[in-house]
Amino acid sequence: MKIASSIVLSALLVAPAVFAAQKTITLDVTGMNCATCPITVKKSLTKVAGVSRADVSYEKRQAFVTFDDTQTTLDKITRATADAGYPSTATGVR
């Protein structure tokens, strides 16, 4: 009985990780006006817990962010860019 209880308990503890989903969003960051702006935007995004990747394009004025939706939210991600001085708007989520 102890073994069965241990297996059930282990499954319950691991279950939330199974439902985690990596999502990628595209942010319009129109306030970038120099070639060093993407560095600041990228630093602000990668400091958000749950963000695993951030690619920022100065030419497109966009950021592409991959994150774990169980660890962060779109609001926290856009707040990070705004707090760095670059307000952003989500234009796509996959």
User: Is position 1 within any domain?
Assistant: no
pLDDT at 21: 83
Domain presence at residue 12? no
Closest to 28 in 3D by CA, of 82, 83, 94: 82
Does the residue 9 lie in any domain? no
The confidence band for 14, taking pLDDT boundaries of 50, 70 and 90, is low
Burial of 11 (0-12, 13-18, 19+ CB in 10 A): exposed
Confidence (pLDDT) at 8: 46
CATH number at residue 78: 3.30.70.100
Give domain status of residue 68, yes or no.
Answer: yes
State pLDDT tens for residues 20-70: 689 999 999 989 999 999 999 999 999 999 999 999 999 999 999 999 999
Q: What's the pLDDT score for residue 2? A: 54
Residue 15 or 46, more confident: 46
Quote the domain boundaries for residue 68.
20-93
Q: Say how many domains are in the chain.
A: 1
